[in-house]
Amino acid sequence: MSTVPQHRLLRTEIPGPRSQELQARKRAAVASGVGTTLPVYIERAGGGILVDVDGNQLIDFGSGIAVTSVGNSAPRVVEAVRDQVGDFTHTCFMVTPYEEYLAVCEALNELTPGTHAKRSALFNSGAEAVENAIKVARHATGRTAVIAFDHAYHGRTNLTMALTAKSMPYKHGFGPFAGEVYRAPMAYPYRWPTGPERCAEEAFAAFVEQVHAQVGETNVAAVIVEPIQGEGGFIVPAPGFLPKVADWCRQHGIVFIADEIQSGFCRTGDWFASEHEGIVPDLVTTAKGMAGGLPLAAVTGRAELMDAVHGGGLGGTYGGNPVACAAALAAIETMRAEDLNGAAKRIEAVMLPRLRDLAVTYDVIGDVRGRGAMLAVELVQGNGSTQPNPALTAQISAACHREGLVTLTAGTFGNVLRFLPPLVIGDDLLNEGLDIIEAALAAHA
Ligand SMILES: Cc1ncc(COP(=O)(O)O)c(C=O)c1O
C-alpha cells in the first residue's frame, strides 16, 4: 500500500495559495486550450489520495481519467520503472527491439477476449491506438467506411475527432475532419424515446437500416464502439445491443473494434467491459489503466487482420517505450496479485446502492448507471423533467472540489457526474466521498 496517508485533510481553501500562484504561471506559460478541471497542483499521490502543494489531501474519484487504476506510484510499478530506467530508456522497437515489448503484447493477447490467435502493436496514446486500429481494419478489408456512434469519444487527433461525437470542446473549429466516418444511434436506455425495454432492439434496427441505406455494408471496414461509453456520459448500451452489432459485423465481413481505452483493465470488474456480454471483438484498443500512469496504448486483434499490414506500416518512434512497457507489466501483475477485478466489484457494491438511494431522495438524479468502478449519475431538471441539468452538475462538482473530493463530469449534455476511483481506494474514503456528494446535493439540488 501507498505511503501517502489515506485520509482527507484540508489545510487551506481549495485551490490553496500555492496552487493559485502556479495557476497564474500556467496562464502565462501554457496554451489556454489545455484546460484543467480542478487547478490544484499535485505533489504526491497514492491509494485514494492526492496531496497538493499546499498540503491538502484530496480524495481521488478520477484516477487521472481512469488511468491510475492500480493506484498512483503503485509499488510494483515504481520498482519496475526504476529498474528499467537504470537499464535503458529507449532504443526504438523498430530499430533494435527488447523483450519488454514482447511481454506486453503476449499479456494483451492472453487477456483480451477470445481464444483465437492474436497479435498486438504498441503506441503512446489512446487516440493513436484508435487511429491504428482503423488503419488495420481498412488495410485488411480493403474498404474505407467506418461507423461510430452517437455520444462516442475516441480522441482528439484528426481521424479520432471525426469519430468523436461531441462538438464543443473536442471538435469545434478544428475541421475539416477525416472522411468516410458515419454515425449511428447508440442504444442509450435512459433517453431512448420509446423507453429502455425497447431500446436494444430499436437502436439495432435503426443502426442496420442507416448503415444499409446511407453507407452500404460492403463499403464498411469497421464499426467502432466503447462497450461502456466514457466521455459521452458513461452510457451502458442496452443489454443485447452490442452482441447484435458484433454478430451483424461478422455476417458482413466488417471489423468490430471495441474501444476499451477507458473501460479496460479491471475498471468494470472484468479485464475488459466486452466480456460482460460475452463479446469477442476483432480488434481491441487499450491505453489508460494498462500502465499505472505511464503513456502506453495498444491495438490487439485477430492475427489475420493485424498481420495483413505490410512491414513498416505500423509503428512510431516511442510506441512501446521500454519504461512504459515495464510499468505495464508491473501494473498487470498488480491487477492479478491484488484481484483488482474483485476490487472494482467491491467499489460498485459500496457506491451503487448509495447512489441509488440518493436518486430516490433527489429527483434531479435521472439515472444511476455503470459497472464496477465506472459509475455515474445523470442530472436532470427534476419535477418529472428529464431535461439535462449541466448547471447543477457544474455546481455539485465545484462543491465537491471545495471539500477536497476530485470528481469529473462528462456527457454530451455536460450533465453527468462520473466516478472513477483508483481500484485500490479504501471503503472509508469511498463513503466519505459519497457523504460529500450527498451534502452537495442537499445544498444545491
Ligand atoms: C474510449 C476512449 N478512446 C480514446 C481515448 C483517447 O485517449 P488519449 O487521450 O490517450 O488519446 C479516450 C480518452 O479519454 C477514451 O476514453
pLDDT digits (tens, 9 = 90+) for 347-393: 999 999 999 999 999 999 999 999 999 999 999 999 999 999 999 99
166 and 412 Cβ atoms separated by less than 8 Å: yes
pLDDT in tens, 391-437: 999 999 999 999 999 999 999 999 999 999 999 999 999 999 999 99
Give the atom of ligand 1 at the shortest distance from the alpha carbon of 230.
16
- If you measure from the C-alpha of residue 73 to the centroid of ligand 1, how many angstroms do you get, rounded to a whole number? 21
Q: What are residue 388's DSSP bridge partners?
A: 380
3-class DSSP assignment, residue 410: strand
Q: What average pLDDT does the segment 161-178 reach? A: 98
Segments in 217-289 forming alpha helices (H): 241-251
Q: Tell me how crowded residue 110 is: count the other CB atoms within 10 A of its CB.
A: 12
Q: What average pLDDT does the segment 177-190 reach? A: 98
DSSP state of 56: -
pTM for this entry: 0.98
Distance CA 440, CA 445 (A): 8
Q: Quick one: cell of 109?
A: 493477447
156 and 336 Cβ atoms separated by less than 8 Å: no
- Predicted confidence at residue 3, as pLDDT, reads 87
Distance CA 329, CA 320 (A): 12
Q: Tell me how crowded residue 119 is: count the other CB atoms within 10 A of its CB.
A: 18
Select from 249, 268, 218, 254 the least CA-distant residue to 376.
268
Residue nearest to atom 9 of ligand 1 (CA): 126
pLDDT in tens, 82-92: 999 999 999 99
Q: What angle do CA 351, 403, 342 make, to 5 degrees?
A: 25
Distance CA 403, CA 14 (A): 8
Residue 1 has pLDDT above 60, yes or no: no
- Predicted confidence at residue 333, as pLDDT, reads 98
96 and 324 Cβ atoms separated by less than 8 Å: no
Q: CA of 186: how far to CAs of 274, 338, 349, in Å?
A: 16, 35, 27
Task: Spell out a b/e string for 27-60, using b for 16 or more CB atoms within 10 Å of the CB, else e.
Answer: eeeeeeeeeeebbbbbeebbbbbbbbbbebbbbb
Which residues, including other chains, have CB under 8 Å from residue 339's CB and lie 6 or more apart?
none
Q: What is the DSSP string of 309-339?
A: SPTTSS--SSTT-HHHHHHHHHHHHHHHHTT
Give the atom of ligand 1 at the shortest distance from the alpha carbon of 125.
10
Give the atom of ligand 1 at the shortest distance from the alpha carbon of 288.
10
pLDDT in tens, 70-128: 999 999 999 999 999 999 999 999 999 999 999 999 999 999 999 999 999 999 999 99
Residues with CB under 6 A from ligand 1: 65, 125-127, 130, 153-155, 226, 230-231, 259, 261-262, 287
- If you measure from the C-alpha of residue 9 to the centroid of ligand 1, how many angstroms do you get, rounded to a whole number? 31
User: One-letter amino acid identity for 57?
Assistant: Q
Residue 160 has pLDDT above 60, yes or no: yes
Distance CA 76, CA 104 (A): 15
- Predicted confidence at residue 2, as pLDDT, reads 66
The preferred substitution site among 134, 154, 226, 412 for testing ligand 1, maximizing ligand atoms within 8 Å of CB, is 154
Q: Quick one: cell of 273?
A: 467491459
Q: What average pLDDT does the segment 283-299 reach? A: 98
3-class DSSP assignment, residue 380: strand
